[in-house]
Structures are given as C-alpha cells and as structure tokens.
A and B are shown apart, each in its own frame.
Chain A
Amino acid sequence: MQTQSEIGYNSKIEGDVVITRIDAALAWFQKNSVWPMPMGLACCGIELMAVGASRFDISRFGSEVMRFSPRQSDCMIVAGTVTYKMAGFVKRIYDQMPSPKWVIAMGACASTGGMYRSYAVLQGVDNIIPVDVYISGCPPRPEAVLDALIKIQNQIGKEPILSKINLVAKLTGEAKS
C-alpha cells in the first residue's frame, strides 16, 4: 500500500496548518534524519569521511551525526572490504541496531567482494546482512554516496510505517479485549 509522500499545501489558504496522513508525516520525519552508522573498514571509509566533511556535506541531507553507536543509528553504511575475520563483528553490530534499519553497501568490495577474489574476503556483505542500496565504484565518488542516501530516503518515504510500528493492531487489540 503506497502512502502519499507529497504533501499538498497552500499557505494562503491553509495558513499555518498542514493536513496530511500520519504515514506521510512519519515518513517525512524519518527520512530527513537518517543517522548513519559508518562501518568504515577500508579505503571507502576515507571517502565516507570526505562525504561527512565540508565539501560534500552529508548533514544537509539530515545525516547530521555519524553515530558510531549502533543503538542510536538508522542506516549502516558498510564502506570497505569485509573479510571473513571481520564478518562476524559486522553481523553483530547490525543485530544491535534497532529496527527500522537500512543498509548501504558502499563500493565494490562491500557489494560483491570487489577485485579481491581471495581466500580471506567475504564476497559481498549481502551474504550476512540484507542490503538495501548497492553503490558501485572503487571508491565511489561522494556524490554517489549522496545519491544512495537519497534513494534510501525515497524508499523510506514509500514504506507504510504504521504497519511496521504495529500501532493500529495494538489499538484495535486493546479495544477488543
């Protein structure tokens, strides 16, 4: 079920009141404040730092803080080569993130193992965690990372959040019981 992500608003008629659906409002709040959890493992981690720096400012898209604590973040950006030794820790940190959570696989190494076809490299982080957006490049340009973030934002905008939170079910369940 698609929620309406556009909010029609005419300030002359409606003044300071905006009428919309809860889904759209919650989606708008959530998508404009995606706090990333940077899993900066290798060279892509440096491009991730460049995205956070002042030239390609990621905070103008709402990702103001790179929260290194998984419990306070929305989106995990896996930037760099995931080796088998590191894979267990990446999975553990992903499990510690509260839902709803999204994953961006940044770069060739995180998406498919990249040019490291060897005995020690996990061929793609999607072997252990579900990935929402893949970014290609070695390393991808910061603009590509921002494009991926915008894709995640569009995806969040389309998700029916209420059904995820299960608020309606709880309310109707309480009314029945």
Chain B
Amino acid sequence: MSNPANQLKAKFGDLISEPAEFRGEITVKISDARQIAEVCGFAKTKLGFGYLVDISSIDNYGEDPRWTVVYHLRNLTNNAELRIKTDVSEEKSELPTVLGIWATSNWHEREIYDMMGIRFHGHPDLRRILMWEGYPYFPLRKDFPLAGKPTNVPEVAFTKVTPMEGGPFVTLPGSSDAISREPRVRVPEDAEPGVSDTRHPQA
C-alpha cells in the first residue's frame, strides 16, 4: 500500500514538501496556496480522502508568511489520515476555497475568516459566523488582546474591555522563566522598566 503522501508527491512533484511524521501523523506542506484546490481534489478523488475532519488556521505573528492554513483529511475506508498545510502571506490573505470538494468546508472557512481574517476566494457566502455582523476585528490574531477592544454592538451599544486585574489567571506563553510568567509579577506593557513586584526587585 503506497503511502498517500508519497503518491501526492509523485503527482505534484515540487509543489509538495517532503512528508514529515510526528506522533504517527503525516504532514505535507504545499508551497503555493493557490493550488490547494487541485491537491485536495486529487486527494479526494484518487486517494480516497473523502472526509474533511477540520480546517484550522495559525497566526505566525512576526514571521512571513503570516498565516498557515491546516487541512485534516481522513479516508474512512482504511483509516488513513493526512495533514496538508499551506502558507499565506499577510498582504494576500486569500486562498481558494475547497467548498466544491467537501461541503463541510463552508462553515470552517467562514470561521477562519471570522477569527483570523483570511479570505477564501470562491466562497459564496463569506461572512462572520461566531462574532456578530459588523465586528471590526479578527479576534484570534496574536496582536488582538484577550481582553478585547471596545466596539459598538447593535442593540446593546457597547462592548467593554474585560477587566483583567493584572491577569491573575492568565500566563504568558512561550517564556521559560517562571518568575516572568508568574501572574503576581506581571507588569503591564506600558510600565517603565524596573517597575516590578516588590518581592522581586529588579537589579
């Protein structure tokens, strides 16, 4: 039984990266996001991946290209799974829809548009699904704060910023220094350097 990732690579050549494996899952990366519909169509018709499990989006804040869109495919007959990733740059922020291949991508793509702001070319009805119509921001982007920004909601006429109170239940991701992540010593971003909790005075 030929590996579906190898079959993809045989068909599309340089468009597909070398398949990577982690924890038993195979991931391939597509270098040109505009070809995603052809690759997915081939995966469905020839390789039997008729079930789209999920489409996710990742914000690589600080890197270019900024967006990564991740497709999880599954073959129901032999339980094979495949993950296809593709990068989209921030200036373009658009890639073709796979609605013609799997009907479930309709709502997944609407949610990605709502949360990240990535547009899907060819989607018939690309509007917000989880936030209300007319919400001006894309919440899941890394530069959007968890507490939110004030907006106008029709009929309620306000949304306030959530009081984080220094974020007692929020930790900073990524850094390994426990003291800098520990909420009690978290300092607001606009404070002057050197201001800190008195228990751990800065040198």
Contacts and interface: CB of A to CB of B under 8 A. Distances in A.
Interface of A: 84-85, 87-89, 91-92, 113, 115, 117-123, 127-128
A111 B155 CA distance: 21
B154 A118 contact: no
Contacts of A127: 160
Contact of A119 (B139, B155, B156, B169): B139
5 contacts: A84-B159, A88-B156, A89-B155, A117-B163, A119-B139
A85 B159 CA distance: 10
A116 to B, nearest CB: 9
A113 B147 CA distance: 12
Contacts of A84: 132, 153, 156, 159
A123 B160 contact: yes
Nearest to B133: A85
Nearest to B161: A119
B76 interface: no
Interface string B111-134: 000000000000000000001100
B86 to A, nearest CB: 28
A122 to B, nearest CB: 8
The majority secondary structure among interface residues of chain B is loop
Nearest to A85: B132
Contact of B169 (A91, A115, A120): A115
B184 interface: no
Interface in B127-170: 131-132, 139, 144-149, 153-156, 159-160, 162-164, 169-170
Given A84-B156, A88-B153, A123-B163, A117 B132 contact: no
Interface residues of B, number: 20
B164 A87 contact: no
A92 B154 CA distance: 12
A119 B141 CA distance: 12
Nearest to B157: A88
Given A118-B162, A119-B148, A91 B139 contact: no
A88 B144 CA distance: 24
Interface in B8-33: none
Contacts of A117: 146-147, 162-164, 169-170
Interface string B53-67: 000000000000000
Give the top 4 A-B pairs by smallest Cβ distance, nearest first. A119-B148, A88-B155, A88-B156, A87-B156
Given A84-B132, A115-B169, A120-B131, A91 B155 contact: yes
A66 to B, nearest CB: 25
